[in-house]
């Protein structure tokens, strides 16, 4: 057609021939062109009947040129809407009708003769004749299946990318090249508490009150705009007004937009605040652990479980084992003395692998320096980074073991001590029993002193003195064992200290006169009241006076004074004796403390007297002091709290401790015949009518027969003991009012209570002096339990 412009004009024939040839040539040119182009071409006449199909059109429609020629175009070129499946108006028809070039509507499917459908893209244009009139239509179309597939692929890929962006937990913002936000994903909105409305279309730096206006981000985005290479792991720390301080890792890259021209910036924001915190915590905890490890007072070894070799050690282990840390590295446990040999070490190792831990409470160890150490060894296996590691904790327990041994020794000592105390208690108790009858017997002899010869008198006074001393010793022994076993109880009442002092003077009188010593006594005129246990206090004074006599030469001087000083009552016992060495003074009140003395131990004593005195005084709320110098004598001062003023006035001084006795019928019962007989003799001498029996059964008989007013009965009788006899007799009306006195070696409160429960009126502890016996009888006369008589 374009060639028509190049036709030449000749003679008419030649012109005709020439124009026929030209026409053929043009047709051929047209045919070849249409056959070789990639688009399908169909032409119609003005009626819309097909006049021509090129090979591509033949293949797409399924019609051949021959078949289609003269057939209406609608049959050959059947098109429907892709979605509605309705017939679409043929563009060729419209081009014919309107004489215009018509483009095809989108989504058109060509239905081929065979029924095959394929998407096409087409256009139609009218063919105009020489006069400009429409002579037909040319329809050009092409198969767009492949293009569609490519488009869909792109769309799918885009949707895929979008869904990834939407679902990742990492906040992502997509920016236009001018840094306005195109969009952002849900994570972004959630993480930074902003809405899509206040985000999309805005400049990133203006978002949320300019909270994204971060200088570092600015420089990063500016440089990515200039340079296409992506930014990776750009760390930014920023204080956001709403969500606080965050540490973020930013990743950005430029991406081409769908139109293939403009570019977008994809900005991924990873909030690593928590990770950083966790890392910091981990570092801290590692540091703490390390510090612990370094400063632990336990030796710690870390071993590789695979090789059994030491990989790490703390400083303390070097102290225990005697190796430096360097020397320990790569060693096995047996090489550093922790196990006897390689075999033992390997056995322990196997056990450790099987059970996960081993423990030896006591592992003997010779350290490098040859020092024997006892260690506690605990070992555990644990996993570190998929590696098995062994930790051994080694504690030097030598000191603890030593302490334990010392404790066992102390306990053994304490046990020995306790048994010694028990032995002393038993011994003193047993010593008392023979003392009582001896004392009674000597007293009896003394009653006959008018008729005795000089040697008799001398012998008697020797016995008297020695028995007196023996008794003091035994009493002290007994007392100390009571004190040490905590079994002492004071029976306190308001007493006049002068009377106590007088009693003590009487007791020591035989010793003092034997030693030809003088006692200068100074007592106040008025009674000196205090609240105390008179027999215990008398014991204190006796002990001090006895010492004064013992540790002074014959003919020496002893001074005793009693005074009132403010709230205290002060008793002083001074002597002109040997005195006490200065080194002994601080310990003088300790149990068994004694000065060096000659082998014959002429002064005797057990070293308990002062201890007893001090303890008793302290139990009364007082104190004892001593001042002494060698060769210059000694002075012991006792301070005791006085009775408060108000209480004193109520008391009437009573000197009369020995009321006049009347004669009683007395039954004496004791299986110790010496004791029984001597007591009976004494009582007879006192003017009483006495009968003696030596057992429980005979006591029962004698009691009914003799009807005693007073009974003096031993508790520890064989067959029927004293308690039983008393209980039985108490049921007899005739003996209901008899005055029953128990005699026992035991003087605990519980012993007294048991006597009382059995029906006794009084409880005398053996050995008792004739004076105590007298007092017990006096109590019978007054029919009142006289407490001091109850006591000893
Ligand atoms: P004992 O007299 O039985 O040895 P004490 O406890 O009464 O026990 O006395 C302890 C020691 O204190 C005595 O052995 C003696 O060495 C010393 N001692 C006590 N009183 C005096 C004193 N008045 N003068 C010198 N030494 C004394």
Residue 543: half-sphere exposure toward Cβ, Cα within 13 Å: 31
Least trusted range by pLDDT, from 55-69, 163-177, 470-484: 470-484
CA of 529 to the centre of ligand 1 (A): 29
pLDDT of residue 607: 83
Burial 538-561, CB ≥16 within 10 A → b, else e: bbbbbbbbbbbbbbbeeebbbbbb
Name the more confident of 166 and 667: 667
Of 428, 559, 583, 605, best ligand 1 pocket probe by most atoms within 8 Å of the beta carbon: 605
CA of 302 to the centre of ligand 1 (A): 66
pLDDT band at 434 (very low <50, low <70, confident <90, very high): confident
- The residue whose two tokens read 């012991």 is 636
3-state secondary structure 190-242: HHHCCCCCCCCCCEHHHHHHHCCCCHHHHHHHHHHHHCCCCEEEEEEEEEECC
Q: What is the pLDDT of residues 567-605, one digit of tens each?
A: 899 999 999 999 999 999 999 998 878 887 654 445 567
Q: What is the pLDDT of residues 490-548, one digit of tens each?
A: 878 889 999 999 989 988 898 899 899 999 999 999 889 999 988 889 989 999 999 99
Residue nearest to atom 11 of ligand 1 (CA): 594
Name the more confident of 690 and 419: 690
Instruction: Please report which helix (H) or strand (E) contains residue 172, including its range.
Output: strand 172-176
Q: What are phi and psi of 598, to 5 degrees?
A: -65, 160
pLDDT of residue 443: 83
Q: What is the pLDDT of residues 277-295, one digit of tens each?
A: 999 999 999 999 889 888 8
Of 551, 572, 629, best ligand 1 pocket probe by most atoms within 8 Å of the beta carbon: 551
Least trusted range by pLDDT, from 34-48, 158-172, 466-480, 557-571: 466-480
CA of 422 to the centre of ligand 1 (A): 24
Query: How far is residue 70's CA from residue 44's CA, in Å, rounded to a whole number?
Result: 8
Q: How many other CB atoms are there within 10 angstroms of residue 494's CB atom?
A: 14
Rounded to 10 degrees, the C-alpha dihedral 656/658/664/666 comes to 140
Instruction: Give the pLDDT mean for 623-627.
Output: 96
**Coil/strand/helix, residue 321:** helix
Q: Which residues line ligand 1 (CB under 6 A)?
A: 543, 547-548, 551, 575, 577-580, 588, 593-595, 605-611, 634
Which atom of ligand 1 lies at the shortest distance from residue 543's CA? 7
Beta 78-81 vs 762-765: how paired, if at all? unpaired
Sort 739 into a burial class: Cβ within 10 Å, 0-12 / 13-18 / 19+.
buried
pLDDT of residue 94: 84
Query: How far is residue 439's CA from residue 332's CA, in Å, rounded to a whole number?
Result: 82
DSSP label of 660: P
Residue nearest to atom 20 of ligand 1 (CA): 547
Residue nearest to atom 21 of ligand 1 (CA): 547
Do 239 and 245 contact (CB within 8 A), yes or no?
A: yes
Q: What is the pLDDT of residues 720-744, one digit of tens each?
A: 999 999 999 998 888 888 999 999 8
pLDDT of residue 223: 84
Query: How far is residue 173's CA from residue 187's CA, in Å, rounded to a whole number?
Result: 10
Name the more confident of 105 and 560: 560
**Coil/strand/helix, residue 140:** strand
How does DSSP assign 668-735, residue by residue? EE-SSHHHHHHHHHHHHHTT-EEEEE-SHHHHHHHHHHH--SEEEEESS-SSS-HHHHHHHHHTSGGG
Question: Does position 78 have pLDDT exceeding 80, yes or no?
Answer: yes
Of 424, 573, 609, 633, best ligand 1 pocket probe by most atoms within 8 Å of the beta carbon: 609
Name the token pair of 75: 């049959």
Mean pLDDT score of the chain: 85
pLDDT of residue 606: 76
CA of 605 to the centre of ligand 1 (A): 8
pLDDT of residue 2: 39
CA of 291 to the centre of ligand 1 (A): 62
pLDDT of residue 784: 44
CA of 566 to the centre of ligand 1 (A): 30
Query: How far is residue 376's CA from residue 363's CA, in Å, rounded to a whole number?
Result: 6
Question: Does position 700 have pLDDT exceeding 50, yes or no?
Answer: yes
Query: How far is residue 203's CA from residue 192's CA, in Å, rounded to a whole number?
Result: 16
Name the token pair of 340: 């006897």
First to last CA, the chain: 162
pLDDT of residue 654: 46
Highest mean pLDDT out of 57-61, 595-599, 686-690: 57-61
Query: How far is residue 228's CA from residue 255's CA, in Å, rounded to a whole number?
Result: 9
CA of 282 to the centre of ligand 1 (A): 74
**Alpha helices for 308-392 (secondary structure H):** 315-321, 325-328, 342-355
Query: How far is residue 572's CA from residue 559's CA, in Å, rounded to a whole number?
Result: 8
Query: How far is residue 696's CA from residue 711's CA, in Å, rounded to a whole number?
Result: 12
pLDDT of residue 11: 61
Name the more confident of 652 and 93: 93
Q: What is the pLDDT of residues 103-129, one digit of tens each?
A: 766 778 999 999 999 999 888 899 888
Pick the closest to residue 253 from 264, 239, 244 (CA basis): 264
pLDDT of residue 516: 93
Global pTM value:
0.45
Burial 427-460, CB ≥16 within 10 A → b, else e: ebbebbeebbbbbbbbbbbbeeeeeeeeeeeeeb
pLDDT of residue 783: 55
High-pLDDT (> 90) share of the chain, %? 34
Question: Does position 374 have pLDDT exceeding 70, yes or no?
Answer: yes
CA of 622 to the centre of ligand 1 (A): 20
Residue partners of 679: CB distance under 8 A and separation at least 6: 436, 437, 440, 668, 670, 712, 773
pLDDT band at 5 (very low <50, low <70, confident <90, very high): very low
| Cα of 277 vs its chain's centroid, Å | 29
pLDDT of residue 599: 47
Do 741 and 722 contact (CB within 8 A), yes or no?
A: no
Q: What is the pLDDT of residues 254-271, one digit of tens each?
A: 887 766 677 889 899 988
Instruction: Please report which helix (H) or strand (E) contains residue 550, including its range.
Output: helix 534-550
Least trusted range by pLDDT, from 229-243, 295-309, 323-337, 665-679: 229-243
The partner residues of 569 in beta bridges, in order of sequence, read: 564, 640
Question: Does position 649 have pLDDT exceeding 70, yes or no?
Answer: no
Query: How far is residue 301's CA from residue 379's CA, in Å, rounded to a whole number?
Result: 9
Query: How far is residue 627's CA from residue 233's CA, in Å, rounded to a whole number?
Result: 92
Instruction: Give the pLDDT mean for 338-360.
Output: 86
Least trusted range by pLDDT, from 189-198, 639-648, 682-691, 696-705: 639-648
CA of 546 to the centre of ligand 1 (A): 9
Residue 711: half-sphere exposure toward Cβ, Cα within 13 Å: 32
Highest mean pLDDT out of 125-134, 336-345, 444-453, 565-574: 565-574
pLDDT of residue 398: 85
Pick the closest to residue 792 from 744, 755, 753 (CA basis): 744
How does DSSP assign 748-764, residue by residue? -HHHHHHHHHHT-SEEE
Query: How far is residue 228's CA from residue 172's CA, in Å, rounded to a whole number?
Result: 19
Query: How far is residue 669's CA from residue 743's CA, in Å, rounded to a whole number?
Result: 9
pLDDT of residue 419: 85
pLDDT of residue 258: 64
Do 612 and 543 contact (CB within 8 A), yes or no?
A: yes
Name the token pair of 324: 């430096």
- The residue whose two tokens read 């492949």 is 146
Name the more confident of 112 and 661: 112
Which atom of ligand 1 lies at the shortest distance from residue 606's CA? 3
Which atom of ligand 1 lies at the shortest distance from residue 597's CA? 16
Question: Does position 8 have pLDDT exceeding 80, yes or no?
Answer: no
Query: How far is residue 517's CA from residue 511's CA, in Å, rounded to a whole number?
Result: 9
Query: How far is residue 417's CA from residue 420's CA, in Å, rounded to a whole number?
Result: 5
Of 428, 547, 603, best ligand 1 pocket probe by most atoms within 8 Å of the beta carbon: 547
Question: Does position 708 have pLDDT exceeding 90, yes or no?
Answer: yes
Query: How far is residue 623's CA from residue 438's CA, in Å, rounded to a whole number?
Result: 35
Name the more confident of 198 and 258: 198
For the chain, how big is the Rg over CA atoms in Å? 65
CA of 500 to the centre of ligand 1 (A): 22
């Amino acid at each position: 057609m374009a060639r028509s412009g190049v036709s030449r004009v000749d003679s008419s024939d030649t012109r005709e021939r020439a124009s026929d040839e030209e026409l053929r040539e043009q047709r051929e040119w047209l045919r070849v062109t249409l056959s070789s182009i990639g688009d399908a071409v169909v032409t119609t006449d003005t009626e819309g009947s097909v006049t021509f199909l090129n090979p591509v059109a033949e293949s797409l429609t399924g019609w051949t040129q021959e078949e289609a020629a003269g057939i209406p175009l609608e049959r050959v070129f059947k098109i429907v809407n892709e979605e509605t499946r309705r017939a679409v108006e043929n563009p060729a028809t419209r081009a014919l009708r309107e004489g215009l070039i018509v483009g095809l509507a989108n989504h058109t499917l060509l239905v081929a003769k065979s029924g095959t459908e394929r998407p096409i893209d087409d256009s139609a244009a009218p063919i105009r004749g020489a006069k400009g009139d429409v002579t037909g239509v040319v329809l050009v179309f092409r198969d767009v299946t492949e293009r569609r597939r490519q488009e869909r692929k792109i769309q799918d890929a885009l949707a895929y990318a979008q869904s990834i962006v939407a679902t990742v937990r990492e906040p992502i913002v997509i920016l236009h090249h001018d840094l306005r936000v195109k969009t952002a994903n849900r994570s972004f909105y959630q993480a930074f508490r902003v809405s899509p409305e206040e985000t999309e279309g805005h400049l990133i730096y203006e978002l949320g009150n300019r909270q994204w206006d971060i200088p570092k981000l600015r420089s990063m985005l500016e440089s990515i705009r200039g340079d296409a290479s992506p930014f990776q792991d750009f760390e930014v720390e920023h204080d956001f007004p709403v969500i606080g301080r965050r540490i973020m890792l930013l990743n950005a890259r430029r991406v081409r937009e769908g139109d293939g021209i403009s570019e977008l910036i994809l900005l991924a924001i990873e909030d690593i605040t928590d990770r950083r915190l966790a890392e910091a915590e981990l570092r801290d905890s590692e540091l703490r652990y390390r510090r612990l490890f370094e400063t632990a007072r336990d030796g710690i070894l870390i071993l590789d479980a695979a090789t059994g070799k030491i990989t790490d050690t703390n400083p303390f282990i070097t102290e225990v084992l005697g190796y430096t840390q360097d020397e320990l590295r790569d060693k096995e446990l047996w090489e550093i003395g922790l196990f006897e040999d390689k075999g033992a070490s390997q056995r322990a190792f196997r056990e450790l692998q099987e059970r996960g831990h081993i423990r030896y409470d006591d592992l003997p160890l010779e350290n490098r320096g040859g020092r024997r150490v006892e260690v506690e060894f605990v070992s555990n296996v644990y996993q570190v980074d998929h590696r098995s590691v062994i930790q051994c904790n080694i504690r030097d327990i030598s000191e603890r073991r030593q302490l334990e041994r010392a404790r066992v020794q102390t306990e053994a000592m304490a046990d020995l001590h306790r048994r010694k105390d028990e032995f002393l208690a038993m011994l003193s108790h047993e010593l008392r029993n023979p003392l009582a009858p001896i004392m009674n017997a000597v007293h009896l002899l003394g009653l006959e002193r008018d008729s005795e010869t000089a040697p008799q008198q001398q012998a008697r006074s020797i016995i008297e003195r020695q028995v007196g001393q023996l008794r003091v010793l035994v009493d002290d022994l007994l007392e100390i064992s009571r004190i040490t076993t905590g079994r002492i109880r004071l029976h306190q009442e308001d007493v006049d200290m002068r009377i106590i002092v007088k009693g003590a003077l009487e007791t020591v009188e035989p010793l003092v006169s034997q030693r030809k010593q003088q006692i200068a006594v100074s007592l106040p005129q008025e009674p000196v009241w205090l609240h105390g246990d008179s027999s215990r206090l008398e014991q204190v004074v006796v002990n001090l006076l006895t010492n004064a006599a013992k540790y002074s030469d014959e003919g020496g001087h002893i001074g005793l004074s009693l005074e009132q000083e403010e709230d205290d009552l002060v008793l002083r016992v001074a002597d002109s004796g040997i005195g006490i060495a200065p080194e002994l003074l601080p310990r003088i009140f300790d149990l068994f403390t004694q000065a060096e003395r000659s082998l014959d131990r002429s002064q005797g004593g057990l070293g308990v007297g002062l201890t007893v005195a001090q303890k008793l005084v302290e139990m009364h709320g007082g104190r004892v002091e001593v001042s002494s110098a060698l060769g210059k004598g000694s002075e012991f001062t006792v301070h005791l709290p006085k009775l408060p003023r108000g209480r004193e006035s109520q008391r009437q001084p009573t000197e009369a401790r020995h009321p006049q006795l009347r004669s009683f019928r007395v039954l004496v019962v004791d299986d110790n015949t010496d004791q029984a007989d001597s007591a009976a003799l004494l009582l007879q001498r006192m003017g009483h009518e006495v009968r003696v029996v030596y057992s429980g059964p005979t006591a029962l008989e004698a009691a009914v027969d003799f009807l005693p007013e007073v009974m003096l009965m031993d508790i520890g009788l064989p067959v029927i003991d004293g308690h039983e006899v008393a209980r039985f007799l108490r049921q007899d009306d005739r003996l209901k009012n008899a005055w029953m006195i128990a005699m026992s070696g035991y003087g605990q409160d519980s012993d007294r209570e048991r006597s009382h429960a059995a029906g006794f009126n009084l409880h005398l502890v053996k050995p008792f002096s004739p004076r105590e016996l007298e007092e017990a009888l006096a109590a019978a006369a007054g029919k009142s339990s006289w407490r001091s008589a109850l006591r000893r």
